[in-house]
Chain A
């Protein structure tokens, strides 16, 4: 009888009874997404509301600038402060005014004489209040321009469309009102890959370096079992936890987006995943869990202690997350070339699944590439487990130092 089922059951019991693993891989994601997104929505909404209601002072540096502004209704909770340009800039730096409106002397006359005047708004992106001031000034100055244009056209008895022979209307068919798919396509690849790694890394370290540290590995290896069987049981356990973690994350994400969240009352983030989208995501995430588990196990087997294992996992996590971040770059899309790059293909496929652009060929190519790499990772892990360095870690080096 193969000892694999006995070893697997032992590993599984060991892992599921570890509160830290369960908390980190299963409980946390279920609470994390609704929590984070609700909090994020609340913070953004509160911030926007606060800015909209905040009294702002805008510096006006000339009589002409003041004349332009006076011709229009003053935006709510906004007041003008007449001050010279150098002093105004100093006030802006000190955040005593939120923006500056400047126009050269003679600007109003130039407009009246059918010439062009330039009104400059000075603001800084460093302060939210300054950005808000720009938002309040923009419609005022557009109204000034529109009013002047209307007067000119009326004087020449021309239709308002004369001034805009071609009117541009950009309309996003999919995301005009609902930001859900857009946000999900950005967020999901990063978060799912991150949780895939976390779901694999923690148990991998616990079952290898942790076991060495607790002194249980030696007792296991003196039983009549082959190292590769020990590795296989640990691999199955790590992969199972990683897959469970991924499913929990996916369910939590789907639930959160499905429920819909309000951002600043203007855009909603609702998105309901279809079974097809979930199927595509699972089709790439499950092989990815096998790949990540193999890598995590092979790397963790080199560590002697849990702490050392955690230190080794940090670069693994960083390298593993890089493809998810690359997938967010403009111009990086799923194609025959990118579908062959492990993990980048997974991130891009998740993104494509959310946006509804994934094809069967993309899925198959991604799966083939990831499974091939998972096989290589498994082979690496098997050879690591078969080495004496894995069994005794630094003990051999310690022996050499002691005897040298």
Chain B
């Protein structure tokens, strides 16, 4: 993303945000509520149009060619966002087809995702009848069924118990190992510390600090990442 600006009426939600996430890198977006994290991710997904600046996925401009750009994107929100009256398999097939997969390639990919995420026991169940952990795993499958290059995760563990959160963290680790570029926003400092190669602290629509967890602790003079978060979120940085 380069120098992204986005306003909502008189309020500037994102103010000149620039960053890059390289393949095999996990970048965490941290900041208090209302800091502009979700807006930034939505601009990157092409859901919101920026007032200025440029967002691209694998070199494809998100706003000039949104359909091509989104083929590189796996997007996961904090809500599972599943069609409750469809079965897990129907969800994966529907989103695989929307991503352009067909025939044997689609079915093969659905089986692969089901194996990788251990979906088989509930794949034929309607999503409305699944537990929240099962829903979350189907939701992950939906986001990655087309094997995207970039993963954008918007507070994916915010509403999950530790067991369900573990699936998300495992997804991120696998993605990093396979050379995917991962950007995710979170409030959980231990996740950020554990997974991220780099962190971006956002406040009032601006990136106020960036670096590895170690660099940010040092810069803030705090012994923990939570301390660093409070430092930057409080505006003392």
Contacts and interface: CB of A to CB of B under 8 A. Distances in A.
A6 interface: yes
A13 interface: yes
Contact of A400 (B8, B45, B79, B143): B8
B46 to A, nearest CB: 7
A7 B98 CA distance: 8
Interface string A4-19: 0011011001100110
B134 interface: no
B83 A218 contact: no
A306 to B, nearest CB: 13
A218 B68 CA distance: 17
Nearest to A6: B97
A3 interface: yes
Nearest to A399: B8
Contacts of A307: none
A10 B94 contact: yes
Interface string A66-85: 00000000000000000000
B100 interface: yes
Categorize the interface residue count of chain B.
Answer: 35 or more
Contacts of A9: 94
Contact of A224 (B39, B82, B90, B98): B98
A404 interface: yes
Interface in A379-404: 388, 391-392, 396, 399-400, 402-404
A6 B81 contact: no
Nearest to A15: B85
Interface string A204-221: 000000000011101101
Interface in B51-87: 66-68, 70-71, 73, 75, 77, 79-86
B206 interface: no
A329 interface: no
A388 B6 CA distance: 13
Contacts, number: 94
Contacts of B90: 10, 13
B49 A10 contact: no
B65 to A, nearest CB: 10
Contacts of B39: 399
B75 A219 contact: yes
Contacts of A17: 85-86, 126
A399 B34 contact: yes
Contacts of B126: 17
A226 interface: yes
Contact of B68 (A1, A223, A224, A402): A224
Contacts of B84: 214
Given A214-B81, A219-B143, A392-B47, 19 more contacts: A3-B98, A14-B83, A18-B85, A215-B77, A215-B79, A216-B81, A218-B81, A219-B82, A221-B47, A222-B47, A223-B95, A224-B98, A224-B99, A225-B67, A391-B47, A396-B8, A400-B9, A402-B34, A404-B10
